[in-house]
Amino acid sequence: MKKLNIKPLLIIAVTGLLLSSCYEKFDPASYAPALNIGGYTSSKQIAPSNLVGFWAFNGSLIDSVSNSAGVATGTGFSAGFKNLGMQGADKGYVLFTPGSAITGMHSFTIAYWVNSPVNANGIVGLVNLANTKNFWGNIDMFFENGSTLDAAKFRAHITNGTAETWISKDGLPNIFTKWAHFALSYDATSETFKLYVNGSLIVTQVQTGFGPINFTNSGNLVFGTVQFQTTPSQTSATDAQSWASYLTGQLDEVRIYNKALADGEVNALVLLEGRGK
């Protein structure tokens, strides 16, 4: 029988092992282009100098801009859109005392994610800035009565001194029982309100003569209900109403800017947060 010379085979095997140790294992992800949406790679990069309030609700009620915390009544935390979120409840809400960076805004954008069941028991307040002497607040945003699973009704009300206006949108599909993103902005220069749902502009409303916002009798920010459903009411003008209720779903990633974000900025914010950025 012919002898097998194993020395050349051993040399080849050892050489291959040495060569393979010189190279890292191929990782396809490392060759993928970096995420870039509208020129941004993170939601933190969108108008950071204009961000005057941000509640991630990731296990706390702290506003990461002011480092101050809100006060909860009946609410908790549960799985949010990103990490944890505020878990609402019947007769539950969160109050936060805003500083002048928020109460002194002349233009604004308020953006947030909400996951709500159909509001069968009354209007459901989302993110609101109280007016301590008026029936309605300085900023009110809520799901209106008469909403259905396939057709949500959204309302926003803004008080500017003695003036006020409403922004309304009915028939919004695919809002309830899933996460949806809302953003409301006002540009004082153009006197224009814009409402965005899931990053898409759906309402543009020019309010001629409205001018720069000047909130009066500013009270707390109210998360999860409207101002007069708290105990006690946030306004001396009224107490709780039978046609109003509470957010029993979740609220997350609430951001307040002191400028009207551009359409592309709102869209990028939604897409980046949707990717956990």
User: What confidence tier does 35 reach under pLDDT thresholds 50, 70, 90?
Assistant: confident
pLDDT at 20 over 80: no
As given in the structure block, the two tokens for residue 243 are: 């046609």
Please state, as a whole number, how many other Cβ atoms lie within 10 Å of the Cβ of residue 211: 14
User: What confidence tier does 14 reach under pLDDT thresholds 50, 70, 90?
Assistant: very low
Please state, as a whole number, how many other Cβ atoms lie within 10 Å of the Cβ of residue 260: 24
* Sequence-separated contacts (24+) of 83-87 with Cβ below 8 Å: 83/56, 83/58, 83/59, 84/57, 84/58, 84/59, 84/252, 85/57, 85/113, 85/115, 85/250, 85/251, 85/252, 85/253, 86/55, 86/57, 86/61, 86/223, 86/224, 86/250, 86/251, 86/252, 87/250
Question: Residue 13 and residue 60: Cα distance in Å, rounded?
Answer: 58
Question: Residue 194 and residue 267: Cα distance in Å, rounded?
Answer: 13
pTM of the model: 0.88
User: What confidence tier does 99 reach under pLDDT thresholds 50, 70, 90?
Assistant: very high
As given in the structure block, the two tokens for residue 158 are: 């803004």
As given in the structure block, the two tokens for residue 208 are: 């001629």
Which whole number is the average pLDDT over 80-105?
A: 98
Q: How far is CA 93 from the centre of its chain?
A: 16
pLDDT tens profile 225-255: 999 999 999 999 999 999 999 999 999 999 9
pLDDT tens profile 165-221: 999 999 999 999 999 999 999 999 999 999 999 999 999 999 999 999 999 999 999
DSSP codes joined into one string, 257-272:
ESS---HHHHHHHHHH
Class of domain 37-274: mainly beta
Q: Is 10 helix (H, G, I), strand (E, B) or coil?
A: helix
As given in the structure block, the two tokens for residue 90 are: 């019947």
Range in 24-38, 235-249, 260-274 with the lowest mean pLDDT = 24-38
Domain ranges of the chain: 37-274
163 forms bridges with which residues in the sheet? 160
- Looking at residue 26, the DSSP 8-state letter turns out to be P
The answer to whether residues 174 and 200 touch, using CB atoms and an 8 Å cutoff, is no
Label residues 166-205 b or e (16+ Cβ within 10 Å = b).
ebeeeebeebbeebbbbbbbbbbeeebbbbbbbbeeeeeb
The answer to whether residues 131 and 217 touch, using CB atoms and an 8 Å cutoff, is yes
What are residue 131's phi and psi, to 5 degrees?
-120, 115
